[in-house]
Copies of this chain bind each other. A is one copy, B any other.
């Protein structure tokens, strides 16, 4: 494979591409153009538009893609890999294609597995970050938290993804603030570390989420949480419930700077030891690892 290549993270709401030289980032493109913005399955045209400048300058570079672009709603429905998965297996499960401008491309598979409580689980995109974690921090075992719309908690053992769980934390937050009684008639929200801490504290009460959520309403009615801090109280409840599921071993938190900081604050309140890593850095490191196994696959 040439020393220059492209890494693409193509999700439901965002498109992100990196021009790479070996393991180094040369340039990056961000576009709010996820799968939902692609009409009539015109993925190749959309991609060509997004990276037109790179095609003009570098011609046909090898292209690695991951995320929901490999799902039923994406470019190609690439079957999930199942079991304890590592970089090599992800490479072997990749769907190879050739673009009309002559690039050799691969769409990487997601991973299907089971959570610790035995429910089926799937992910597409986060597995790349986990492979990146294994490369960046070689150790026998890791616990990782990947916060987001659908937060993932994963156990990595012996350089492979073992079990993982999904928490719909981010989506619940958005839904409840935008469409429920809890978010109605609120002023612009402000960071409120007191409200956030109170939410984390209440997340430990012996009550299910559907009950705890009503306290967002009653504490607001009583003035115990200011109107501008309702969002942070709700965030504390949701992130608190999520993190209380973690075993008490050290955890990596792998996401954006803002989410990492929020999760680390919550983890610290719960006595959980964490170290933050950039989600972008892990993604790139993961793609670079997988690239090494793709050399012969066309």
Determine whether A218 belongs to the interface, using a CB cutoff of 8 Å to chain B: yes
**A binding-site residues for B, Cβ under 8 Å:** 115, 117-122, 150, 165-169, 171-172, 175-176, 178-181, 202, 205-215, 217-219, 221-222, 224, 238, 241-242, 244-245
| B205 x A150 contact (CB < 8 A) | no
| B181 x A171 contact (CB < 8 A) | yes
Kindly provide the distance from the CB of A238 to the nearest chain B CB, expressed in whole angstroms. Answer: 6
**A149 (CB) vs chain B CBs: closest residue:** B181
| B166 x A211 contact (CB < 8 A) | yes
Kindly provide the distance from the CB of A37 to the nearest chain B CB, expressed in whole angstroms. Answer: 16
Bound-state CA distance A232–B165 (Å) is 23
A150 proximity list for chain B (CB < 8 A)? 214
- Pairs across A and B, CB under 8 Å, 9 listed: A117-B205, A117-B206, A120-B218, A120-B219, A120-B222, A120-B224, A165-B207, A166-B211, A208-B242
**A244 (CB) vs chain B CBs: closest residue:** B208
A242 proximity list for chain B (CB < 8 A)? 208, 210-211
A180 proximity list for chain B (CB < 8 A)? 168, 171, 175
Bound-state CA distance A256–B207 (Å) is 25
| A205 x B118 contact (CB < 8 A) | yes
**A165 (CB) vs chain B CBs: closest residue:** B211
Known: A166-B211, A208-B245; 17 extra A-B contacts, CB below 8 A, are A119-B211, A120-B215, A120-B218, A120-B222, A120-B224, A121-B218, A167-B208, A167-B214, A168-B180, A168-B181, A168-B214, A175-B175, A175-B180, A208-B208, A209-B241, A210-B238, A210-B241
Kindly provide the distance from the CB of A236 to the nearest chain B CB, expressed in whole angstroms. Answer: 13
A224 proximity list for chain B (CB < 8 A)? 120
A241 proximity list for chain B (CB < 8 A)? 208-210
